[in-house]
Amino acid sequence: MSPNIIDELVKNGKEIEAVYFASESGLTKRFSPVSLLKSYLKNSKKITTTVLKNGNYSVAATDESSTLELNSIKAIIKCVEDHKLESEFSLDSLRKRASLLEKTKAERKRGTSAATATKSQNKRGHGSGGGRDSGPTPYRQAKAAKFSNNYSSFSRRNAPPPAQHSPARRYSGPFHYPCWNLPQSTNITEADKSSQHAEAPPSATSS
């Protein structure tokens, strides 16, 4: 295999693949596997730091950077084990780091799942409590009672005046005048006297 291909792999940040190609091609003296692994580890740390900064150290950016770092460490560990390079490239610190990243990732995943479940329960609770078939809440009952009392007092204060009959209806029927027991007059008028004389019988002397 041409050394130029290995050079291109190194330039593109693919040092792990360069180690495999160098070992297969017998070019490990020109392309030291340990040097390539250290270069790959250094570049992977720079990438994870850039991801965190660009994401303003948000939860999503932290998850992404942790995943990238964990994948890089796993790739290095596998490459070292495949090429029997543990005597030259220690893996103790990388294995501890990988264990920590996996533990943190698992805890974060459990926390996210718990938060999602809590939100779902709250949504179901609000949905069942706010349905049309559900009874009114104590607050709504108190508010309805208060409104009813206020409406009753308002109705009493603003009751309509008593109905009044129109003048035409009031005086449409016949008016009955009261009867007074007037005293009989003792004064006899001239007409009464004349009627008395006319009705008197003739006296006996006239015959």
Longest dimension (CA), the chain: 199
What whole-number distance in Å separates Cα of residue 83 and Cα of residue 80? 5
| Total structural domains within the chain | 1
In a domain, 123, yes or no: no
In a domain, 199, yes or no: no
Q: What is the pLDDT of residue 120?
A: 72
**CB-count exposure of residue 41 (10 Å: 0-12, 13-18, 19+):** middle
Question: Which residues in the chain show pLDDT less than 70?
Answer: 1, 124-207
In a domain, 21, yes or no: yes
Q: What is the pLDDT of residue 203?
A: 47
Model confidence over 187-207: pLDDT tens digits? 444 545 455 444 445 544 443
Q: What is the pLDDT of residue 123?
A: 72
In a domain, 184, yes or no: no
Model confidence over 17-57: pLDDT tens digits? 999 999 999 999 999 999 999 999 999 999 999 999 999 99
In a domain, 161, yes or no: no
In a domain, 187, yes or no: no
DSSP for 19-50, written as a single string: HHHHHHHT-TTTS-HHHHHHHHHHHHHHHHHH
DSSP for 73-101, written as a single string: HHHHHHHHHHTT-TTTS--HHHHHHHHHH
In a domain, 67, yes or no: yes
In a domain, 124, yes or no: no
Domain that includes residue 97, residue range: 3-109
Rg from Cα positions in the chain: 59
101's tokens: 């990243």
Q: What is the pLDDT of residue 8?
A: 94
